[in-house]
């Protein structure tokens, strides 16, 4: 499974099919995307590989927080980033047609979602993050 940013400068490959999509509705993700949140897949580090453009990635970290975002310095598209020590998150919208059959598994931080945001799929809803 492959993906890329809008301009194609940043490219990557996923060698293990993700189980599904997570949608974060927290206020930080809403402000970062200008939308209802961000839809991502989570991939073990060993199944993620950059294929081009790592030098085109820049990051922004929210002060006094562990929250960070990564994006293409050319087109501004959000790009994959570090989820934790073992996994990467990949914005689902960057994936190609081979990801079209994925479905939403979890909605996280629905306790802070926008009032106009109506969740209409079967993904489990969590007031905060998914507990593992």
Residue-wise pLDDT for 41-98, tens only, equals: 999 999 999 999 999 999 999 888 888 999 999 999 999 999 889 999 999 999 999 9
Rounded distance between C-alpha atoms, residue 6 and residue 3, angstroms: 10
Going from N- to C-terminal start, the domains of the chain cover 2-125
Q: State the Cα–Cα distance between residues 79 and 123, nearest whole angstrom.
A: 23
β-bridge pairing 21-24 and 38-44: antiparallel
Give residue-wise pLDDT tens across range 11-21.
999 999 999 99
Contact assessment for residue 5 and residue 75, using Cβ atoms and an 8 Å cutoff: yes
C-alpha to C-alpha distance for 41 and 65, rounded to whole angstroms:
22
pTM of this prediction exceeds 0.85: yes
Q: Write down the architecture of domain 2-125 according to CATH.
A: Beta Complex (2.170)
CA atoms within 13 A on the CB side of 131: 3
Q: pLDDT of 93-116, one tens digit each?
A: 999 999 999 999 999 999 999 999
Q: What is the mean pLDDT of residues 30-38?
A: 93
pLDDT value, residue 25: 96
Give CA–CA dist 49/32, Å, rounded. 25
Structure token pair of residue 67: 């929250």
Q: How many angstroms separate the CA atoms of 109 and 4, rounded?
A: 27
How many Å apart are CA 113 and CA 107, to the nearest integer? 10
Structure confidence at residue 132 (pLDDT): 56
């Amino acid at each position: 499974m492959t993906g890329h940013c809008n301009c194609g400068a940043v490219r990557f490959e996923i060698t293990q099919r993700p189980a599904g999509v997570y949608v974060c509705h927290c206020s930080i993700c809403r402000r970062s995307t200008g939308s209802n949140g961000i839809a991502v897949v989570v991939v073990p580090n060993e199944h993620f590989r950059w294929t081009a453009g790592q030098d085109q990635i820049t990051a922004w970290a929210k002060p006094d927080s562990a929250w960070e975002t990564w994006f293409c310095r050319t087109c501004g598209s959000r790009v994959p980033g570090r989820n934790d020590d073992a996994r990467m998150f990949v914005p689902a919208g960057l994936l190609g047609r081979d990801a079209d059959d994925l479905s939403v598994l979890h909605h996280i931080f629905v306790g802070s979602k926008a009032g106009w945001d109506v969740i209409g799929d079967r993904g489990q809803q969590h007031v905060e993050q998914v507990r593992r």
